[in-house]
Amino acid sequence: MNTSVSCFIKESVWRWKEIALGFELTTCLFAVVGCVISLCCLKTSGKIELVMKIQFTFIFAGTIVTCLVALPGHVILEYLKFRCLPVNGKLLKTFLALYTISAFIERNAFAVLAIFRFWAVCFPFKYKQFTRWTAVVGAEVALFVLITLLWLIDFITRGYSIQEMTNPSKDGMGQILYYSLLLVPQAVTAMAYSAVVSCMLYRKFCVTQRQGADDRDQVVKSVSILILMNLLLDVPHVANHLTKASSTDLSYILIHVIYRLHFALDPFIFVGLNAHFRQQVLRYVSSKLLRRKKVHASQTINANAHSRTQSDTAQPA
């Protein structure tokens, strides 16, 4: 059934919403490209451990799904609703649920990544001894199933009005899920990140030089920067939800545009801060450019030869 909503947003605000829509769709485009590049680097690289490879594969694959389907559908339908155009209520609810679930899974995946990085940096010997790829896969699958089931139950059993279908965390079960499935993992991520930084600083200034640490330290630093960036982008986003801001407020719109930047920034930071991945991408691009240059040169030579042949044929005997 199509649901036509009354205009409940100022014209000046929905003009900002138009800009936000274009920005978010552009973010999705760059996010998909960046995640594909990152997944290709992970697939061909032998310099990153299997556990971390599984974690980043899960994160980047999830981001591709989010930015190809969930987020574009959600923001486009949300914009149509703000413009007071007829919107299918069930479709709006479906995309809201899909985006909410995928976003929560991605945030919790970063919490798992931070916990494993804490274990690897602060307790490296126990990490190598006890960490198995099955434990990582089990943790990721358990999070996926738990978050999906809890949010599906909320969306199926709770009646959302058409105006509420942008911020499901304002009250009731949605607020409980927001606190338990987003704020708690964010707190865990922050504590794990602080511990990782403390261990790195302690080893840098208080421990003698270790052999063979360069590659490992580079990976740890790049992942730490990635986690820090996500935490910083989450601060205004979390504060916005805690204050129960309306989705029609300009602050809500702008903060979510900034927060969703991490979808595009994550893969490019991951590749850019790892020298091995960066070299892989540069080699691939340079080889493609060189091949195109050779093809163009070959086509030019053939065209010139054909032109000379035609000229010779046209000359009188």
| Confidence band for 200, pLDDT divided at 50, 70 and 90 | confident
Provide the b/e sequence for 169-199 (b: ≥16 CB within 10 Å): beeebbeebbeebbeebbebbbebbebbbeb
Q: Looking at the predicted structure, is the pLDDT value of residue 64 above 80? A: yes
Can you say whether the dihedral through the CA atoms of 45, 48, 53, 59 is positive or negative?
negative
Q: Output 232 or 301, whichever has higher pLDDT.
A: 232
Q: Do the beta carbons of residue 263 and residue 27 sit within 8 Å?
A: yes
Is 80 exceeded by the pLDDT of residue 93? yes
Distance of CA 158 to the CA centre of its chain: 28
Report whether 88 contacts 108 (CB < 8 A).
no
C-alpha–C-alpha distance, residues 233 and 313, integer Å? 70
Q: What is the pTM of this model?
A: 0.84
User: Do 119 and 131 contact (CB within 8 A), yes or no?
Assistant: yes
Q: How far is CA 72 from the centre of its chain?
A: 14
Whether 234 shows a pLDDT value over 80: the answer reads yes
Among residues 276, 262, 266, 265, which one has the least CA distance to residue 218?
Answer: 276
Q: Express each pLDDT in 131-190 by its tens digit.
A: 888 989 999 999 999 999 999 998 888 766 655 566 677 667 888 898 889 899 999 999
| 1.10.443.10, 1.20.1070.10, 3.40.50.1820, 1.10.10.10: CATH of 8-124+134-160+172-294 | 1.20.1070.10
pLDDT at 246: 80
**Is the sign of the CA dihedral 120, 123, 129, 132 positive or negative?**
negative
117-121, 132-136, 278-282: least confidently modelled range: 278-282
